[in-house]
Amino acid sequence: MCLGDRGDTMTTADTTPRSVYEGTCQTHEADGAAIRDVLNRVGDKWSLLVIVTLAGTRLRFSELQRHIPGVSQRMLTLTLRQLERDGLVTRTIHAEVPPRVEYDLTVVGRTLLEPSMALANWAVEHYPEIQDSRAAFDRSRA
């Protein structure tokens, strides 16, 4: 089973060549839902930013907000809750006054760092080409 395959059994005779995935499918047991789910999280506006920001050290809420320019209180809260729920970050409340809440990556959260960094690096490397391509595409339609 491959990416995007929802596991629906092939009921009708299919003349379409099945060679599409052969030899190239690297996610045999992959559940498309899992990939979409994770990608929708990593691909949202703030999650990856939070993760790489926590890569160096644990931080409290206000520090996190200072380190991530542009994030609103609401979105930072929502993002952190999602990440906590997914088991990617921990939330530690210190019983003090005023309250101090610290966020840190979990072990699982840290393992996400490498593949997402690879993608981030790809983005940085190829962004010039992408921008050129966009410019050319748009020019050819003017």
Partner DNA sequence: CAGGATCCAATTTGATACTG
Partner DNA sequence: CAGTATCAAATTGGATCCTG
CA distances from 128 to 1, 117, 123, 135 (A): 35, 18, 9, 11
* 33 close to 58: Cβ distance less than 8 angstroms: no
Within residues 44-63, the interface with DNA by CB under 7 A covers 44-46, 60-63
92 contact choice in DNA, its own copies, none (CB below 5 to 8 Å, kind-dependent): none
| Other Cβ atoms within 10 Å of 46 Cβ, number | 19
| Number of amino acids touching its own copies (CB under 8 A) | 73
Q: Say whether residue 139 binds DNA (CB under 7 A).
A: no
**For residue 120, which amino acid is it?**
A
Please pick, from the candidates 75, 104, 113, 116, the single residue that binds DNA as defined by CB under 7 A: 75
CA 107-108-110 angle, 5° bins: 65
Q: Report if residue 91 touches DNA, rule: CB under 7 A.
A: yes
Q: Does 80 bind DNA (CB under 7 A)?
A: yes
Tell me: does residue 85 bind DNA (CB under 7 A): no
Residue range at the interface with DNA (CB under 7 A); choices 5-13, 50-58, 73-81, 128-136: 73-81
Exposed/middle/buried for 105, CB within 10 Å: 0-12, 13-18, 19+? buried
Q: Which residues bind DNA (CB under 7 A)?
A: 40, 44-46, 60-63, 70-75, 77-78, 80-81, 91, 98-102
